[in-house]
Amino acid sequence: MRQTIINVSNRLPVTVGEQIKRSSGGLVAALEGMGDERFDLKWLGWPGGEVPDPARRAEVERTLESEFGCVPVFLTREEADGHYEGFSNTSVWPLLHYLPTMFRYETPWWDHYRNVNGKFADKVLSIARDGDLVWVHDYQLMLLPAMLKEAKPSLRIGFFLHTPFPSYEVFRCHPKREELVLGLLGADQIGFHTFGYLRHFRSSVLRLLGVDSEVTRIRHHGHTARLGVYPIGINAPRFAEELDKPEYRQKVEHFRDVYRGKRLILSVERLDYTKGLLRRLDAIDLFLSERAPDERDTIKFIFISIPSREGVDEYRVLREDVEARIGRLNGKYATLNNSPIHFIHGSVTFTDLCALYGSAAVGMVTPLVDGMNLVAKEYVAAQDPEQPGALVLSNMAGAAQELDAAVLVNPYDMDGVAEGIQHALQMSLDERRERHADMMRVLRRNDITAWHERFIEALTSAGTARSKRAESQERQRLARVAGIAVRRD
């Protein structure tokens, strides 16, 4: 009998309108292939939008379950706004990303957040059976593990945080900081992208609750929450397959014709203030004015900005600021033969994206802070190993912990970023090949399959003899990373 995994996220991997269609996204791509012969994967979450009509709601529920393997949690518009746009994205998100100046909190948001987490708990409990695994994802559902554990202690519950976890001094700004930490401690297994995020979480537990911990576990009120580091990867074989298709090669040739005589520097990001787009443009300004004044005809920056939270005022203002800044830079540095920045606000097809990755001499990924950042890994995966480009990567992204062969830059240092662009463009072919080979070894070792298999293995075997041996080894490994000594079992 296959193991059932109830995968719980804020949004389902579908879009519900007049028709129900499968949607894309980072988590959707991450969990591709999990529902194979080993697992029966059920996906539980909000279907997006309000479905007030009971008959339509029943129809949507039947279709989602039968055709998509999804279990919907229906919310009113008020609940969704208060929980997601309010509490999650306006109070929790900024602090997780070290941006307290963007933080705002309103008491009604907390009521919606707690109530929505309760609705998710009720839905999980209505379908969960003994032996099922429940895997909860991300900051929108931080109360859910404790709610589930209190209602049904026999459930095996995992939680993975896809964002950074900040230092205690930042996280303590949140009025509900203790409640959020206690919510996570209901999980049996808590996963982070990097050891630094795990360390910050342990520090917050100690400072907020007075509970000490070991490197890989926290004991609280008779329950043990195990901690682990599981850097998320990409579906590298999918990129390898795409690069073999004739459609891909045709697109590459098309872009080479369109941008003939120019070296491309590619930036692909969601339109979000954590991505540092305005600072990136400042660095480009500095680069064009001081480091490459004679190359304005031969260098082209391509900005692909994926729309994000366009109903939120801060994001609308950000888009206006980015577009205005790009307009000024194009006016300042345009020549008769070239405008330096080509800005696209919208999504592109996977084939187009891969072809742009493969055509770009430099991939520029400089968020102010990021839990991981898969764009950096995608750029590397799409490179020709014989003629690879160079990756300029923010040292504030989780990916920098793995891709240390990239040109690492401080996204707050404009001159340093400009220097990083220059270094990447001037790098020899031998050096680019060596760096690319190092990064590809990391991508293959920590691909998307390894990510979910390692997490599920840890969650499944928690407390067994096999798990205790693995946990002891993991504690020793993390201790070496942290430079501390730990007790051997």
Lowest mean pLDDT among 24-28, 125-129, 244-248, 483-487: 483-487
Longest dimension (CA), the chain: 71
**How much of the chain, in percent, has pLDDT values that exceed 70?**
91
CATH of 236-445, picked from 3.30.420.40, 3.40.50.720, 3.40.50.2000, 3.40.50.11440, is 3.40.50.2000
pLDDT for residue 480 is more than 80: no
**How much of the chain, in percent, has pLDDT values that exceed 90?**
79
Length of the chain: 489
**From 370, 436, 447, 452, the catalytic residue:** 370
| Residue 140 CA: distances (Å) to CA of 74, 311, 402 | 15, 18, 27
Find out whether 142 and 183 touch, Cβ atoms under 8 Å.
yes
Lowest mean pLDDT among 69-73, 190-194, 314-318: 314-318
Q: Give the pTM.
A: 0.92
pLDDT for residue 340 is more than 90: yes
- 3-state class (DSSP) for residue 129: coil
pLDDT of 233-264, one tens digit each? 999 889 999 999 999 999 999 999 999 999 99
Distance CA 406, CA 392 (A): 6
Find out whether 216 and 228 touch, Cβ atoms under 8 Å.
yes
H-state helical runs in 128-235 = 144-151, 168-171, 177-184, 195-209
pLDDT of 10-20, one tens digit each? 999 988 877 78
For the chain, which residues make up each domain, given as ranges? 3-229, 236-445
Please tell me which residue, 200 or 21, carries the higher pLDDT value: 200
Closest by CA position to 228, among listed 441, 30, 453: 453
- Edge-to-edge order in the sheet of strand 189-192: 70-72, 39-46, 3-11, 133-137, 156-160, 189-192, 223-229, 217-220
Q: Which helix (H) or strand (E) holds 267?
A: strand 263-270
pLDDT for residue 29 is more than 70: no
Cβ within 8 Å of residue 447, ≥6 positions away: 233, 234, 235, 236, 237
Distance CA 474, CA 469 (A): 9
State mean pLDDT over 455-471: 72
Please tell me which residue, 111 or 237, carries the higher pLDDT value: 111
The reported pLDDT for the residue numbered 315 is 84
Q: Which helix (H) or strand (E) holds 409?
A: strand 407-409
Q: What mean pLDDT, rounded, does the chain reach?
A: 91
pLDDT of 128-187, one tens digit each? 998 899 999 999 999 999 999 999 999 999 999 999 999 999 999 999 999 999 999 999
How does residue 488 score in pLDDT terms, banded at 50, 70 and 90?
very low
pLDDT of 45-104, one tens digit each? 999 888 888 899 999 999 999 989 999 999 999 999 999 999 999 999 999 999 999 999
The type of residue at 272 is D
**From 83, 97, 137, 162, the catalytic residue:** 162
Distance CA 287, CA 302 (A): 15
pLDDT for residue 401 is more than 70: yes
pLDDT for residue 484 is more than 80: no
- Is 370 among the catalytic positions? yes
In the numeric block, the tokens 């804020």 are attached to 10
Lowest mean pLDDT among 22-31, 92-101, 409-418: 22-31
In the numeric block, the tokens 């129900």 are attached to 20
Helices 236-243 and 350-359 meet at what angle, rounded to 10? 80
- Topology of domain 3-229, per CATH? Rossmann fold (3.40.50)
How does residue 485 score in pLDDT terms, banded at 50, 70 and 90?
very low
Domains 3-229 and 236-445 share a fold: yes
At 169, list the tokens. 């001094």
The reported pLDDT for the residue numbered 286 is 96
The type of residue at 420 is G
Angle at 181 between CA 412 and CA 197, to 5 degrees: 35
Strands 217-220 and 223-229 turn out to be antiparallel
The reported pLDDT for the residue numbered 486 is 39
